[in-house]
Amino acid sequence: MKNIILTGDRPTGRLHLGHFVGSLSQRVELQNSGKFDEIYIEIADAQATTDNADNIEKIRQNIIEVALDYLACGIDPKKTTIFLQSQVPELCELTFYYLNLVTLSRLERNPTVKQEIKMRGFKTSIPVGFLTYPISQAADITAFNANIVPVGDDQLPMIEQTREIVRSFNSIYGETLVEPKAVLPENETCCRLPGLDGKAKMSKSLGNCIYLSDSPEEIEEKVMGMFTDPNHLKVTDPGNTKNNPVFIYLEAFAKEEHFKKYLSEYKNLDELKAHYEKGGLGDMKVKRFLNDVLQETLEPIRKRREEYQMKIPEVYQILLEGSQKARKVAFETVTKVKNAMGINYFEDLDLINQQTLKFAKSKGDNTKNN
C-alpha cells in the first residue's frame, strides 16, 4: 500500500506559533523524510464558508496568507501538492454520497463541532453545512486515498468520523476506500501551545498569538508583555514553571545550542527551570532569552515569506497547479466510488444489456398474449 498524507487548514487568518509547533514543522519534517509517496495539503476554503457564509471576503484574503505561511515554513510545492478545496468539485460529489452514511445524532455528538457551536454562539441556529463539515472532511481525506493525516488533537473526532464512513461505505459497496490514521505531534507541549496571556490556546480570536509573519519588533514586544507566574513578584521569589507560558514556549523551542549562544550560564532548560523554581531568577531575563530563541527560529521563515511576497502571481500559480493535480486524483476516486455504488450507468454494459433483454422479453410476452 502507498503511504499518502493529507492534511489541511481553514484559511481564516495568518498562521501562528501554535500552528507551527502543532503541525507545520511536523509536516515539513514528514515532507523531507522522503518516506511518503504523496503529500497533499488542502487550504480548506470551502470548509471555512460553513461558518463564514456572510464573510467570504475574509476567506478570499487569507488563502494567500496561509499559502505564504506554508511556503515560508519550507513546504516545497515540488514535493507537496498544495491545493484549494473549492477548486476540486469532486469533493462535493463524494460528500453527497457520504451524507447518507452518517446519522444526525452522530454528528451532534462530535465534541469538536459541539465546542465550535458553543464558541460561535450558533445555539439552535446551526447551519446545516457547518454541522456536516466532518463529512466533507471525510471526502477530503478519502479522495486522495490518504492513510496518514497529521493533525492536532482537536481533529481526532474528524478522523474517527472518516474511519466510520470508510468502514460503512466498504461494507455496503465493497472494499473501495482507504481507512486513514491520525498522526499527532510527538511532544505533548506541541499539541497545544498556550496563548501569550496564559489562556489554554493560542488563537486568533483571543488575540494572544505570535504570527509567523510578525516583525522582529512585534515579536519582542509580545514576548516582553507575556503572562508569567502571577505570584513571582520579586526576583528572589520562588517561581512556578508549570503553567507559565514563557517556560512552555521554551519547552517547545529552546535547544541546547540556544543556551550556548544566548544564556551560557545554564546548560539546558532543566537548569533554568530549577533556578526559577528556587528563586533568584527574574522574568525579564527568561523573557529576553525566549525572545532570542524565537527571533532566531522565525527569522528564516520571515525571510522566505518576504521572498514569496514579491511574487504573488507565482504563488497563485502554485495553487492552481496543485488544484489541477488534486482534481485528477479526486476524479479517479469519484469514479471508483460511483462504480462501487453502481451509479456509473453509461459505462455499465451489463446494465444496458439487462434492460434491453427485460424489455425485449416483455414485448415478446405481450405478443404472445395477443
Q: Which is nearer to ligand TRP, 116 or 292 (CB)?
A: 116
- Helix (H) or strand (E) run with residue 82 in it: strand 81-84
Q: Please, what is the minimum distance in Å from the beta carbon of residue 6 to ligand TRP?
A: 6
The residues in 142-161 that bind ligand TRP, with binding defined as CB under 6 A, are: 149, 151, 155
Could you tell me which residues come within 8 angstroms of residue 10 by beta carbon, excluding any fewer than 6 positions away?
A: 44, 45, 47, 48
Known active-site residue 118: yes
Element (H, E) at 129: helix 128-131
Q: Which of 35, 58, 118, 181 is catalytic?
A: 118
Residue 258 touches ligand TRP, criterion: CB under 6 A? no
Q: Give per-residue burial for 305-330: e unless 16+ CB within 10 Å, then b.
A: beebeeeeeebeebbeebbebbbebb
140 binds ligand TRP (CB under 6 A): yes
Among candidate residues 112, 137, 157, the one with its CA nearest the CA of residue 42: 137
Catalytic residue, chosen from 204, 285, 325, 336, is: 204
Site for ligand TRP in 62-121 (CB under 6 A): none
66 versus 315: smaller Cβ distance to ligand TRP: 66
> Do the bridges between strand 181-183 and strand 38-43 make them parallel or antiparallel, or are there none, so unpaired?
unpaired
First to last CA, the chain: 61
State the minimum distance, in angstroms, from the CB of residue 339 to ligand TRP.
24
Mask 167-196, x = binds ligand TRP (CB under 6 A)? ------------------------------
CA distances from 169 to 93, 263, 311, 341 (A): 14, 57, 44, 9
Compare residues 137 and 291 and give the one whose CB is closer to ligand TRP. 137
Are the C-beta atoms of 151 and 30 separated by less than 8 Å? no
CB of 10 to ligand TRP, least distance (A): 5
22 near ligand TRP, judged by CB under 6 A: no
Catalytic: which of 199, 201, 325, 336?
Answer: 201
User: Interacting stretch for ligand TRP, rule CB under 6 A, among 95-103, 124-132, 133-141, 193-201?
Assistant: 133-141
Of 49, 81, 137, 142, the residue at the interface with ligand TRP (CB under 6 A) is: 137
Q: In degrees, to the nearest 5, what angle opens at C-alpha 100 toward C-alphas 94 and 106?
A: 110
Cβ proximity to ligand TRP, 21 vs 246, nearer residue: 21
Q: Which of 21, 24, 39, 42 binds ligand TRP (CB under 6 A)?
A: 42
Strand partners, 4: 38
Q: Give me the residue label for grid cell 446494465.
A: 351
Rg (CA), the chain: 26
The nearest distance, CB 47 to ligand TRP, in angstroms, is 5
| Backbone region of residue 121 per phi and psi (left: phi > 0; alpha: psi in -120 to 50; beta: other values) | left
Does 9 engage in binding with ligand TRP (CB under 6 A)?
yes
> Site for ligand TRP (CB under 6 A): which residue of 17, 21, 39, 44?
44
181 is catalytic: no
Q: Give CA separation, 138 vs 1, 148, 208, 246, 304, in Å.
A: 20, 13, 31, 37, 33
Q: Stretches 39-47, 203-211, 255-263, 314-322: which one binds ligand TRP (CB under 6 A)?
A: 39-47
10 counts as binding ligand TRP under rule CB under 6 A? yes
Q: Determine the 3-state secondary structure of 53 from DSSP.
A: coil
Q: Could you give the CA distance from residue 63 to residue 12 in angstroms, rounded to a whole number?
A: 8
Distance of alpha carbon 16 from alpha carbon 183, whole angstroms: 20
Task: Considering the complex, state which of residue 10 and residue 305 has its C-beta at the smaller distance from ligand TRP.
Answer: 10
How many chain residues interact with ligand TRP (CB under 6 A)?
A: 14
Residue number, 151 or 294, with CB nearest to ligand TRP: 151
The residue ranges that bind ligand TRP (CB under 6 A) are 6-10, 42, 44, 47, 137, 140-141, 149, 151, 155
Active site residues: 118, 201, 204
